Amino acid sequence: VLSACETGLGDIKGSEGVYGLQRAFKMAGVQNLIVSLWSIDDEKTQEFMINFYAQLLKTNNIINSFNQTQRNMREKYKNPFYWAGFEFIE
């Protein structure tokens, strides 16, 4: 988890995709990443991460935990600003 502002952003290089922090982690062999696409409120980010790790401890399934956390946040906060900025990258 790259829990900081806009960790999913980077420069677009032609047909090669986005060059950014997440690409460096993927090139280093990291299988899965959770990044943010914009600056999300610190309290909502904390809530997202606590929820995510609680789900992960219950299920031991990273993608299901991420998806359930987004559903939980979406139900609580109708405004996508608070939950849609998190992205799961395989």
Q: How far apart are CA 14 and CA 76, in angstroms?
A: 39
Q: Provide the pLDDT for residue 47.
A: 95
Q: Provide the pLDDT for residue 36.
A: 83
Identity of the amino acid at 10:
G
Whole-prediction pTM: 0.76
Residue 76 has pLDDT above 90, yes or no: yes
Task: Grade residue 65 by pLDDT with cuts at 50, 70 and 90.
Answer: very high
Q: What radius of gyration, in Å, describes the C-alpha atoms of the chain? A: 13
9-63: pLDDT as tens digits: 454 555 555 456 777 777 788 899 888 888 888 899 999 999 999 999 999 999 9
Q: Provide the residue ranges of all domains of the chain, joining segments of one domain with +.
A: 10-89
Of the candidates 37, 45, 36, which has an alpha carbon nearest to the alpha carbon of residue 73? 45
